[in-house]
């Protein structure tokens, strides 16, 4: 039910205190039970913020704050239409651990359709690893893994967390521990039961029904680290516009237009705080549900929950204010938008809400940057093949491989610990990677050359660790 309140009373409420009370009627006044608008092939935006009940002047103040940050893309969706769009909203960026919340939707569909049983144990599912699981570990249920409470303390693939509790130090369900192993095992079970790779499952069950504009199968990678675990990680890169579609699906309780894609029961269960965290600094003032962080700070009364990735990747769903907010940073450059600064920006966005929206506000087409045509590039055949370089980011992983090859998507470099990238030629024997940076900037070039021993090689600054390394062709592999 909508709560109506006069503007004079709102002014009175805010004149009584300097501390914003987000449980007050202003933030709940025009809440609706369902979303009014959904994007078709492209997003639409409000013709003016005032039509939606927001102040252009206050949003401009918020934008000036945002421009001082290292954010690369920022979107605010109100009631299913674009209210704010700043930066490179149509460019794909690595999502990092915020991708755990993307996986949640697929887990929910599989549970809804009884493809997987959350009460099944790892032992019943035949889960093992390069080290045998103990009987206690095998008693963990899939439901425990959804909550990161499996009690299996094995370092999973693509994990930045190095300090793990001793194995056997907690029973399944007893201790919350943020990790990749639980997620990777759940993903492997989905692939087995659906008999499809996870990127194809995501395309068929999420990306296609939501008409995502920028997603490609190659945007979800497989990172396999056999010395740690037999279960790979699947990092992905997405545009802010596509992530806003996914977040809008959750805002509308799993329903997209007339299609119930994920059950409302699963959304409710996923966004319930199953783990009340003592160390609030870890989740930036949040508790934890199923693969989602649940706000336990000043925004709790708005029902906010969010996906969090390193350096500031965020998807925020704010049900009681009909809002979706997406922030992406360019982690290739190690940019960072700290959570406390993002929450300050959120406060400024909320403060710009000043009135009830007009009836049937006019929506217009959202303008985005036309994609830059990519050339069909080639490389001398002798440079095709597998390369190896020292990897100084993790002492447990001394080397890193890369493969230069032609695929149906063109000339590709596929890194062992990262996504595949289309190579774009900028000069003789020099290439850049699509999505890694703006084509005009030509950052992180791959420079191919023949070394002093006559061996094919290329030099690259590894974007995530800002470490320039030389990859040399692997003589132990048939590169023909």
What string of pLDDT tens digits covers the 480 residues of the chain?
333 333 333 333 333 334 555 555 566 656 667 788 999 999 999 999 999 999 999 999 999 999 999 999 999 999 999 999 999 999 999 999 999 999 999 999 999 999 999 999 999 999 999 999 999 999 999 999 999 999 999 999 988 888 899 999 999 999 999 999 999 999 999 999 999 999 999 999 999 999 999 999 989 988 888 889 999 999 999 999 999 999 999 999 999 999 999 999 999 999 999 999 876 555 556 899 999 999 987 888 899 999 999 999 999 999 999 999 999 999 877 889 999 999 999 999 999 999 889 999 999 999 887 665 555 567 888 999 999 998 766 667 788 899 999 988 789 898 877 678 888 888 888 888 887 765 555 567 889 999 999 999 999 876 555 567 899 998 765 544
Judge whether 35 and 79 are in contact, CB under 8 Å: yes
**Model pLDDT, residue 199:** 96
Which stretches does DSSP call E strand in 133-215? none
Judge whether 149 and 176 are in contact, CB under 8 Å: yes
Q: What is the DSSP-derived secondary structure letter of residue 275?
A: B
**Model pLDDT, residue 286:** 84
Q: Cβ atoms within 10 A of the Cβ of 192, count?
A: 12
How high does pLDDT run on average in the chain?
87
Torsion of CA 348, 352, 353, 359, to 10 degrees: -140
What is the Cα–Cα distance from 180 to 15, expressed in whole angstroms?
A: 47
Q: What is the DSSP-derived secondary structure letter of residue 203?
A: I
Judge whether 412 and 421 are in contact, CB under 8 Å: yes
Find all residues with CB under 8 Å of 268, minimum gap 6, and list them.
253
Nearest to 419 by CA among 217, 216, 219: 219
**Model pLDDT, residue 445:** 83
What separation in angstroms does the CA of 362 have from each of 32, 37, 93, 245? 18, 11, 31, 20
Judge whether 62 and 209 are in contact, CB under 8 Å: no
**Model pLDDT, residue 15:** 36
What's the token pair of residue 20? 């914003």
Q: In what order do the strands lie in the sheet with 286-288?
A: 286-288, 293-295, 305-309, 313-318, 323-329, 71-78, 81-87, 44-46, 363-365
How does DSSP assign 27-62, residue by residue?
A: HHTT--SS-S---SSS-EEESSGGGGTB-HHHHHHH
Find all residues with CB under 8 Å of 453, minimum gap 6, and list them.
none
**Model pLDDT, residue 227:** 86
165: left (phi over 0), alpha (psi -120 to 50) or beta: beta
Phi, psi of 275 (to 5 degrees): -125, 110
What is the Cα–Cα distance from 300 to 295, expressed in whole angstroms?
A: 5
What is the Cα–Cα distance from 176 to 261, expressed in whole angstroms?
A: 29
Q: Which residues partner with 100 through β-bridges?
A: none
By three-state DSSP, how is residue 231 classified? coil
**Model pLDDT, residue 462:** 65
- Which residue, chain included where needed, has tokens 């050339």? 375
């Amino acid at each position: 039910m909508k709560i109506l309140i006069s503007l004079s009373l709102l002014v009175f409420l805010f004149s009584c205190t300097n501390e914003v009370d987000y449980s007050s009627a202003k933030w709940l006044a025009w809440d609706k039970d369902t979303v009014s608008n959904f994007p078709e092939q492209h997003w639409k935006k409000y013709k003016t913020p005032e039509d939606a009940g927001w102040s252009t002047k206050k949003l401009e103040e918020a934008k000036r704050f945002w421009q001082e940050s290292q954010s690369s893309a920022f979107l605010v969706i109100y009631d299913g239409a674009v209210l704010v769009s700043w930066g490179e909203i149509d460019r794909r960026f690595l999502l990092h651990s915020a991708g755990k919340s993307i996986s949640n939707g697929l887990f929910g569909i599989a549970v809804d359709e009884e493809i997987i049983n959350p009460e099944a144990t790892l032992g019943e599912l035949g889960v093992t690893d390069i080290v045998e699981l103990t009987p206690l570990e095998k008693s963990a249920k899939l439901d425990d893994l959804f909550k990161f409470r499996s009690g299996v303390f094995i370092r999973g693939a693509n994990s930045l967390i190095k300090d793990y509790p001793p194995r056997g130090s907690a029973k399944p369900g007893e201790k919350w521990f943020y990790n990749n192993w639980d997620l990777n095992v759940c993903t492997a079970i989905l692939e087995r039961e659906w008999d499809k790779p996870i990127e194809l499952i995501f395309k068929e069950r999420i990306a296609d029904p939501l008409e995502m504009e920028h997603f490609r199968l190659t945007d979800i990678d497989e990172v396999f680290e056999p010395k740690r675990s037999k279960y790979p990680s699947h990092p992905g890169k997405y545009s802010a516009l596509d992530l806003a579609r996914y977040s809008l699906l959750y805002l509308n309780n799993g329903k997209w237009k007339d299609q119930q894609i994920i059950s409302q029961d699963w959304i409710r269960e996923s966004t319930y705080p199953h783990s009340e965290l003592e160390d609030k600094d870890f989740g930036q003032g949040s508790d934890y549900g199923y693969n989602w962080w649940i706000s336990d700070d000043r925004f709790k009364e708005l029902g906010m929950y969010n996906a969090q990735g390193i350096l500031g990747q965020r998807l925020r769903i704010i049900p009681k204010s009909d809002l979706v907010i997406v922030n992406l940073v360019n982690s290739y450059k190690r940019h960072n938008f700290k959570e406390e600064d993002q929450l300050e920006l959120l406060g400024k966005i909320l403060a710009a809400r000043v009135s009830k929206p007009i009836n049937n506000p006019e929506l217009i087409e959202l303008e985005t940057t036309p994609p830059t045509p990519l050339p069909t590039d080639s490389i001398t055949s002798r440079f095709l093949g597998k390369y190896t370089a020292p990897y100084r980011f993790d002492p447990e992983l001394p080397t890193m491989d890369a493969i230069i090859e032609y695929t149906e998507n063109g000339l590709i470099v596929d890194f062992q610990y990262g996504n595949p990238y289309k190579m774009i030629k900028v000069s003789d024997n020099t290439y850049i990677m699509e999505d890694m940076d703006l084509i005009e900037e030509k950052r992180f070039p791959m420079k191919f050359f023949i070394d002093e021993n006559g061996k094919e090689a290329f030099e690259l600054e590894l974007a995530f660790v800002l470490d320039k390394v030389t990859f040399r062709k692997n003589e132990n592999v048939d590169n023909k």
